[in-house]
Amino acid sequence: MCHPAILTAVSVLGSLAGGVVQAQGIRQQSEAEAQAEERRAQLTDRQKDVNQTQASFERKRTLERLDRVLGDNRAAGAERGLSETGSLTDVADDNAYEAAQDIEAIRYRAEGERGNLAFESSAARERAKSQRRAGRIGAAGAILGGATSAATTLGNAIYSSTSKIS
């Protein structure tokens, strides 16, 4: 049979090693979750750029459509012998007004999406920080738990050996 001191030493070492291994697992899991949150933040940052490019493209298309409509109106008016005054000018002004409204709507939508994505990006980065903090705290708790278990085992062994002497 093994000597009680050897069993106590093995138990103490096992408790300490278990705490360290558990701490390492907690840290790795927290780091993986933090990295996932950082990837979410990067994705929302990229999406902001994509949305901005898309909004610029939509504004450009709206202006190009306006130019085509104005050109078509001028051509149709010229075919009918109309001068670029009166109702032809009113139609052109209405078209320009509608295009300006479309451009403003595109701008407001893009700003809203950019704000939402900036918020989501910031929130994901904050969650990543929290995951890392939780990992450090969890790891410290696991090590403390292992050390406490080891100390309890050691204390019980010392108590048992002193009570046998008495």
* Digit-coded pLDDT (tens) for 47-94: 999 999 999 999 999 999 988 888 887 787 777 776 666 677 778 888
Per-residue confidence (pLDDT) for residue 90, from 0 to 100: 78
Per-residue confidence (pLDDT) for residue 151, from 0 to 100: 85
Decide which of 83 and 41 is more confident: 41
Question: Can you tell me the mean pLDDT for 35-45?
Answer: 94
> CA neighbours within 13 Å on the CB side: how many for 152?
8
Whether pTM exceeds 0.85: no
- 65 vs 48, 59, 91, 144, CA distance in Å? 26, 10, 14, 69
* Closest by Cα among 60, 54, 55 to 99: 60
* Residue-averaged pLDDT of the chain: 86
* Digit-coded pLDDT (tens) for 97-115: 999 999 999 999 999 999 9
- DSSP state, 84? S
Token pair of 117 as six digits: 């994505």
CB atoms within 10 A of CB 50: 11
Q: How many domains does the chain contain in total?
A: 1
The CA angle 123-124-126, to the nearest 5 degrees, is 65
Decide which of 73 and 4 is more confident: 73
For residue 25, give its domain range. Answer: 4-165
Token pair of 62 as six digits: 């709206």
